[in-house]
A and B are shown apart, each in its own frame.
Chain A
Amino acid sequence: MIRARPVARLAELRLLVWVAAFSVAGYVAVVAAASGRFAWYEVAVPLAVLAIFGALHLFLVSVGFQGDQLLMPLALGLTSIGFILVERLAPTLLLQQLSWLVIAAGAFCGTILIPRDLSVLARFKYTWAFLGMLLLVSPLLPVIGREINGARIWVGLPGIAQFEPWELVKVALVIFFAAYLDEYREVLSTPPRRFGPIPVPPIPYLLPIVAMWLVAMLVMVFEKDLGATLLFFGIFLAMLYLATGEPFYVLIGLVMLAGGGFIAYHAFNHVAARIDVWLAPFDSDLRFDQAYQLTQGLFSLANAGILGAGLGNGMPERIPVVWSDFVFAAFTEEVGFVGALALLAFYLVFVYRGMLIALRAPTTLLQLVAAGLSFIIAFQTLVIVAGNSKLIPLTGITLPFVAYGGSSLVTNFVLCALLLRVSDITARVRR
């Protein structure tokens, strides 16, 4: 397991210096553009953020961690962009976001330390699935569940804190799928019968998977959250493909999703409204009503041009709840298309690095876990960025590490730590 002998992590340190540099530069640009009075915490928070970054690095050094050195600077770079944007768009939320970062950093360290060889994940897979389901339905429970902006996906105590449990569920889901598929992948990838080119898998092995599909659809119905539904389904199809390499499963899955979506469009107003807004946001009946957020987001993107309006000089605050749903559009407006490409490159490198970790991992279980977790980051980024730019209907998925929101930050730090753990195990086995 992890040695207590410290190791130098110089590549990571060098990259973190860059992160600190652009974090400070971005922050100064925002504050300078605002040119008004600002609160004490607007100075304290960025310093605290950098201190936490440094502490995380020192922590990895002190436990003799041998995992990947690129992943954490990438995640922290994205996190610091997130903080710059919170300062830009909603400075009053800074302190809250900082306290979530502290919790996230704690969860990160905990994940690095606790699951010693990660096989514990496989051993208790049904426990994970059960816990995941419990978390998933928790917003539907009376007292603690609550509905915000039309989606019933929150739990919390009034006035204290609110949490979106499905953020954590997605990690539990990847672990469950990885463990389940690792165990049954031979049966699933070499089905005994084929119906023409279509593989007919043994039904009993497919049942848990179809059950997950049903659950995802139920979530959409009862919690009115398209984003979570789409994400769960995406994870499910990606994992199925990773384990079996069978494109027909993906095809069947997509057909089922399209079918479910079609029924939902006709049966549920909130789904139909999303689709209508997506098809014609500038329709005169919609543009000031349901499509207001999307059209304002598109105006924001249009104001970007090549180099953007400059940090602090755009008008993204016109977009309702810009700091969570439209943080990408806001960022793009002020740093331009070039900046947007740079941000997407950040994610692509993160995903690439994660997939590399998966490729090198010593067991199929770890491979599936690492690839699944990397896929989450890729998928979330794609779904929200494509939603912001009207390529697909908008869903309330968060931009990983950047969008304001505690549940998402904590989960993504745990996710990053798990990826690092896989690379650490690989490094130790390979030696």
Chain B
Amino acid sequence: MVSDPPDERAREAPAALMRTRWSPVTQRTIGSNIRRLTFVIAIAFLVTSIGVGYWSLVAASDLNADPFNPRLIAAVRDRPRGKIVDTSGRVLADSVKDGDAYRRRYADRSLAQVVGYASFKYGASGAEAAYQESLIGKDPSDLLGQWKARYLGERTEPGSVVLGLDPKVQQAAVAALAGRRGAIVALDPKTGRILASVSLPSYDANALVDPQQQDTAWQQLNDAKDRPLINRVAQGLYPPGSTMKIVTAAAALESGFDPNQKIRVDDPYQADKSWGDYFVRSASGSHGDFDMSLAFQRSENIYFARLGLTVGSQKLADMAKKFGIGHAPALDLPAAKGQLANGGAIDRPTLLADTSYGQGELLTSPLQMAMVAATVGNHGVQVQPHYATEIRDPSGGILRIVGGGAGDQIISATNATRLTTYLVQAVEAPGAFAFGARIPGVHVAGKTGTAETPSGSPHGWFVGFAPAEDPQVAVAVIIENAGQGGVDAAPLGAAVIRAVLGK
């Protein structure tokens, strides 16, 4: 540090100042550049502030309710969450003390995807996510509790969530599908209550809430090729195969097609030469005249392909859409929407033919196909499916009921009755493909399906309902890469129906 004498002030000014380059003109130019840059910076600050405001004010309510937001779960880590139980009162999920926090405990591995998990690290899934607020004592219908939590800082005791699952049906479904990959769903066609839901492979949700295991478990479950975290019932998408023929027949009947009218079947079939080397094949190499009843019994692809071509792509697409194919069911848990065709529309005759018997580019979930069966069984009225049935307060009183809407008339009751007749014949008639679903003393309506898949042997389907005249249960079974397709699936459907009917 130097103290300069005053007369040396000129030298003390920066050397650069003395250079010729400094002139008033250039300084003004730079000055305006600086001003403009500062202006741009100010605008950028404004835009950025708006961005911050968007997340902290506008998008906040969505993100704060996101099941993966750990705040919701951690907010109550020092208190137990509510229980999840089934209709018999069996506890499926509850909280146990672990150090100074509470940790979830899960009782039924077969319901892992339905009950889900609530992890401090990975957020929540399944019912744990869908009924998050109810499980932490902030159920939307509990206004008093909400008010107390907000203004008095008190939290109401969490209540419990009752799932409509019936343990004996669930058990039957688990036993039926054991050792396979696939899904079974059974629901009440009149109310939409899901009675059983199995998705295999499953997993142990307890590993995901154990601080010691959660990271490896999470990694493994996410890397697993057969995707155990997916609830195949509602999120698994498969070509529906011959179960789609119910929809094609419904479209034809609703457009006034006479089911007794014969359609000529000659294997292999093509509409005209423009199909080139493309043919629809009959599963049994048939030659002859088929009416709708016989076509259902033999699951005749060529009949339904020609039926679809007669009805036309618009009417078939409309009917599929009405039944719920291509949009997600209003389920209380996440559900996939599937698709009618890759581009959304059936845009060529060969695709129309393929779609009519359930191949083409169709993708549906087991739940969607179970709802097709349920709607036919319920005299054409479609109700919304739901896992939970009610939310209870801590003392067991009912806070609110889940589900139970009136339902929509999708097809006429007359046509629903006709379809039911054909579906019963598809199980009971001599030589019927779905013979495996027969139950003595009960009329079962059902349809098998064999869905071709690029990934090995075909998937086996069965959808149906019983008793046919007054159904108490509708069921869908899918076995991934089943050896013989639909023939394998039908007995599994029967086993579940028996459990419901007590036969």
Contact = CB atoms under 8 A, between A and B. Distances in A.
Interface of A: 1-5, 63, 113, 117-119, 122, 182, 185-186, 189, 238, 241-243, 245, 287-289, 295-296, 298-299, 301-306, 315, 318, 332, 336-337, 340-341, 344, 347-348, 351-352, 355, 358-359, 362-368, 371, 375, 378, 381-382, 385-386, 388-391, 425, 428-429
A74 B62 CA distance: 36
B70 A117 contact: no
B34 A371 contact: yes
A118 B14 contact: yes
A337 B57 CA distance: 8
7 contacts: A301-B63, A337-B52, A363-B14, A364-B22, A367-B31, A382-B44, A389-B48
B213 to A, nearest CB: 16
B216 interface: no
B78 to A, nearest CB: 13
A389 B55 contact: yes
B16 A305 contact: no
A337 B30 contact: no
B22 A337 contact: no
B56 A305 contact: yes
Interface of A is mostly: helix
B32 to A, nearest CB: 7
B222 interface: yes
A397 to B, nearest CB: 13
Given A340-B52, A359-B31, A375 B41 contact: yes
Contacts of A238: 37
A185 B16 CA distance: 15
B152 interface: no
A390 B48 CA distance: 10
B63 A298 contact: yes
Contacts of B59: 298, 302
Contacts of B66: 299
A315 B52 contact: no
A332 B52 contact: yes
B30 A367 contact: yes
Nearest to A4: B3
A1 B55 contact: no
A389 B44 CA distance: 13
Interface string B47-61: 111011111110110
Contact of A301 (B21, B41, B55): B55
B37 to A, nearest CB: 6
Interface string B14-33: 11110101100011011111
Contact of B16 (A299, A355, A365, A375): A365
Contacts of A367: 27, 30-31, 34
A416 to B, nearest CB: 17
B35 A359 contact: yes
Contacts of B37: 238, 241-242, 355, 371, 375
B64 interface: yes
Contacts of B33: 241-243, 245
B38 interface: yes
A388 B33 CA distance: 29
B65 to A, nearest CB: 10
A389 B50 CA distance: 10
A182 B23 CA distance: 13
Contacts of B57: 305-306, 337
Nearest to B45: A348
Interface string B412-455: 00000000000000000000000000000000000000000000
* Central interface residue in B17, B41, B59, B60, by most chain A CB within 10 Å: B41
Contacts of A306: 56-57
A287 B124 CA distance: 13
Contacts of A365: 16
Given A340-B49, A364-B27, A390-B51, 6 more contacts: A117-B16, A348-B41, A362-B22, A363-B17, A366-B16, A367-B27
A320 to B, nearest CB: 11
B79 interface: no
Contacts of A287: 68
A337 to B, nearest CB: 5
A318 B3 CA distance: 55
B56 A336 contact: yes
Nearest to A352: B38
A287 to B, nearest CB: 6
B98 interface: no
A358 B27 CA distance: 11
B187 to A, nearest CB: 26
Contact of A288 (B31, B74, B222): B222
Contacts of B52: 301, 332, 337, 340-341, 344, 385, 388-389
Contacts of B9: 428
A279 to B, nearest CB: 16
* Central interface residue in A287, A301, A385, A425, by most chain B CB within 10 Å: A301
Interface string B115-140: 00000001000000000000000000
A392 B237 CA distance: 35
Contact of B14 (A362, A375, A386, A390): A362
* Central interface residue in B37, B53, B64, B71, by most chain A CB within 10 Å: B37
Contacts of A243: 30, 33
A49 B4 CA distance: 34
B1 A428 contact: no
A302 B15 contact: no
B218 interface: yes
A428 B29 CA distance: 23
Given A113-B1, A305-B56, A390-B55, A429 B47 contact: no
B14 A2 contact: no
B388 to A, nearest CB: 23
B71 A341 contact: no
Nearest to B2: A1
Contacts of A428: 9, 12-13
B330 interface: no
Contacts of A429: 13-14, 17
Interface in B68-95: 68-71, 74
Contacts of A337: 52-53, 56-57
A365 B55 CA distance: 41
Given A337-B57, A386-B51, A119 B14 contact: yes
Nearest to B70: A318
B293 to A, nearest CB: 45
Contact of B122 (A122, A288, A351, A386): A288
Contact of A3 (B3, B15, B68, B218): B3
